[in-house]
């Protein structure tokens, strides 16, 4: 995906329509996620972390404007250091989305959060890709990933789905007046065709499975027992020698009797 191509598309009427929905959802989704470190992977020209209150926020990617210039599938970030990761349209424009999800799982702390947005192939937006004369343009050049498949990938990494929704039910017309004619689809989309939104959002939490070893109370059981000295004791005290002499004398007298 070319950053310039994506930037130009978001400046169109259809791009602004999508951007308004994306910004609204991310603002709501990340506002009440707390922690210390948050990262946005992809689309650094848009601040989708603006409503979050974590002290450290930065963007990462290969596009100009990213705070950290790095590939999404191999992040130079310490494992278990991020509280929140958001990925606006990253997976469908990368050749190895599985590796990106593994990297997200690696850098997240236990119970850390990830918020993902993606284009839905089972929608009018997905069908529109096959009727475009220029399929090399953004966003039709992407490999749209079905929501059900993305959920399966996340479950394999022990993520738990905690939220999500779909939007952009109207056909992806370039002209605003044509989208206005079909605006009723946007209002009724969640009720009548809930899986046919052009864009989906998905929230998930990283879980770590482990065990706590319960040890028996060996220390308490051995506390009252005498232990063998770890080193030989030196008897230099005269009082000890006297006691040994007296005990021996008493033993001899008892034998005579």
Query: pLDDT, tens digit, for every residue of 33-85?
Result: 999 999 999 999 999 999 999 999 999 999 888 999 999 999 999 999 999 99
Contact 104, 178 (CB under 8 A): no
Instruction: Give CA torsion, residues 133, 135, 136, 140, to 10 deg.
Output: 140
Higher pLDDT, 175 or 237: 175
Q: Looking at the domain that runs over 3-206, which CATH code has it been given?
A: 3.40.50.150
Residue 204 neighbours by CB distance under 10 Å? 27
Which residues lie across from 84 on neighbouring strands?
Answer: 38, 113
Nearest CA among 18, 37, 32 for reference residue 108: 37
3-state secondary structure of 180: helix
Contact 159, 205 (CB under 8 A): yes
Query: pLDDT, tens digit, for every residue of 152-185?
Result: 999 999 999 999 999 999 889 888 888 888 777 7
3-state secondary structure of 81: coil
Query: pLDDT, tens digit, for every residue of 186-205?
Result: 777 777 677 889 999 999 99
Query: Where are the chain's structural domains?
Result: 3-206
Q: At what angle do helices 147-156 and 97-107 cross, to 10 degrees?
A: 50
* Overall pTM > 0.85: no
Higher pLDDT, 208 or 170: 170
Mean predicted lDDT score pLDDT of the chain: 84
Give the confidence band of 229 by pLDDT, cuts at 50, 70, 90. Answer: very low
- Give the strand order in the sheet containing 56-61: 68-69, 56-61, 37-41, 82-88, 108-119, 199-206, 159-167
Contact 90, 70 (CB under 8 A): no
Alpha carbons 251 and 254: distance in angstroms, whole number:
5
């Amino acid at each position: 995906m070319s950053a310039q191509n994506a930037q130009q598309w978001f400046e169109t009427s259809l791009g602004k329509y999508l951007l308004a929905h994306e910004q609204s959802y991310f603002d709501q989704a990340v506002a009440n996620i707390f922690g210390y470190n948050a990262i946005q992977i992809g689309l650094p020209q848009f601040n989708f972390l603006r409503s979050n209150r974590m002290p450290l926020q930065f963007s990462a990617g290969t596009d100009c404007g990213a705070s950290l210039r790095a590939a999404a599938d191999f992040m130079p970030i310490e494992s278990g250091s991020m509280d929140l990761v958001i990925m606006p349209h990253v997976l469908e424009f990368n050749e190895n989305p599985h590796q990106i999800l593994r990297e997200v799982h690696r850098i997240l702390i236990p119970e850390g959060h990830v918020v993902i947005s993606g284009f839905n192939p089972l929608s009018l937006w997905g069908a529109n890709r096959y009727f475009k004369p220029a399929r090399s343009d953004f966003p039709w050049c992407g490999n749209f990933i079905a929501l059900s498949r993305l959920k399966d990938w996340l479950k394999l990494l022990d993520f738990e789905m905690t939220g999500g929704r779909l939007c952009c039910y109207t056909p992806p017309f370039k002209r605003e007046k044509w989208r206005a004619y079909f605006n009723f689809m946007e209002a009724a989309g969640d009720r009548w065709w809930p899986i046919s939104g052009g864009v989906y959002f998905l929230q998930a939490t990283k879980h770590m499975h482990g065990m706590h070893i319960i040890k028996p109370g060996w220390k308490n059981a051995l506390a009252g027992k005498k232990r063998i000295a770890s080193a030989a004791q030196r008897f230099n005290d005269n009082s000890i020698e006297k006691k040994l002499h007296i005990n021996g004398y008493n033993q001899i007298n008892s034998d005579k009797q």
